[in-house]
Amino acid sequence: MSHPLGLAPSKIIAVHLNYRSRAQERGRTPREPSYFLKPPSSLAAHGDAAVRPRGAEALGVEGEIAVIIGERARNVPLESAAYHIGGIAAANDIGCYDLRYADRGSNVRSKGADGYTPVGPAIIDPAEVDLHDLAIRLWVNGELVQEDDSGGLLFGFDYLIADLSRSLTLEPGDIILTGTPAAPPIVRPGDVVEVEVGDGGRLRTVIAEGEEPMSGPGALPALSEKDRRDAFGEPAGLGLPDETERNLRGVATATISAQLRKRGIHHAFIESVRPAKPGTRLLGRAHTLRYLPLREDLFEKRGGGYNAQKSAVDSIRPGEVLVIDARGDSHAGTIGDILALRVQRAGGAGIVTDGAVRDSGSFADLEIPAFAAFHHAAVLGNRHVPWEDNVAIACGGALVEPGDVLVGDDDGVVVIPPALADEIAADAAEQERQERFIYRQVDAGHRIEGLYPLSGEWRERYQQWRDGAA
């Protein structure tokens, strides 16, 4: 089916993160743009519907400025790149967060579905507008939700064209989606979304519901904890029910480990880490940071300046724990007191590293809980290359994903899958109530038989004690 504006791109290229307002919201600023491809079959027109898969929760819409290539571009210099723009239009970069996990980064299924790239309602002549001051707005059901302008871009239209044309040929009609500003909303079936660029009219899209639930083969809608937070925003506090949070703050990591083992999870304890101050308790959500072994040429590229370590520290949100994968290497520090103080001031809930900390004396004076395997005076560049954050990592032999729930005490730190947090917290609290009762009976001189574990008459007596204590 042909597009009413005659658009027939050979490719649609989208930028992951390109507005200062959005970078501030996400807590990270890219040094260079990164891209993903949307298939031409995702192209839609003004007035078309976009379908949220039945069973999905989070369909996101993003108002964007579409740059339409007018002249073939290959290896074009920055100073002349803008001459290759043939048109400007409003665009809506639609994506289903529930499918993002399936093609992390490439967004093939989450953003590549039919109808997920509406463009229109008209093409604006670039010669008639100021490309550095183009307004972009998005409304949902008549309410203004997003508003910014092209002056807020991290990388301008000319930069994107010059950058992309170094690696691939931009053909006439190709479309570059130049990024979305802060606060892109989640929409529901029945919502009407409108996007406007400059005075080019409003691009209208109606959100519909899929007629049948998605079925196999292949990935099905599933909203991870991180994607839920990205879609709906950071929940208040830890995003846990009050009772769950209260229980987790009171139970021991040994008890939690026992509850995890009952559910078949045997490798959730972060080995060898100890608190900087005895008696420290930790509870928070994981924000991960991964170090790779030192390679001098790559450290020169990725270790200096505003590297992944500093970006991760600046990205910490209230309630998050910075968890560092240092491969258990004891020969260099992984974080010092200045960056640790930054985590504290940002509202971070703690720091955990299976490597070493520098300035260990200062760590004991900080309010933020810190758990480390070693102390070492050398800087991280002695052994590590800071590589990336908010990815799955290994820390102290445990796999940690962003958003995992971490609990720490004098024994160390344990990782709880978010989906199990409520039931593990409740069962761990009950287990410790039973153990307090048993301890009192043993202290009073009673035999272990029938008492530990509770059975028969002793279980009945425990129930009476618990009801009375309640």
Residue list, annotated binding site for substrate: 336-339, 358
What SS3 class is residue 275? strand
| Binding site per annotation, positions for Mg(2+) | 359
Q: Is 440 exposed, middle or buried (0-12, 13-18, 19+ CB in 10 A)?
A: exposed
| Binding site per annotation, positions | 336-339, 358-359
Measured from the Cβ of residue 227, the count of other Cβ atoms closer than 10 Å reads 22
Q: How far apart are CA 333 and CA 331, in angstroms?
A: 7
User: 39 CB contacts (<8 Å, ≥6 apart)?
Assistant: 12, 112
Q: How far apart are CA 14 and CA 66, in angstroms?
A: 9
- Cα 33–38–39 angle (5° rounding)? 150
Residue 237 structure tokens: 């506090």
What SS3 class is residue 171? coil
Q: DSSP state, 153?
A: B
> Does residue 121 have a cis bond before it (omega within 30 degrees)?
yes
What does each C-alpha distance from 348 to 216, 226, 313, 337, 368 come to in angstroms? 40, 17, 9, 14, 7
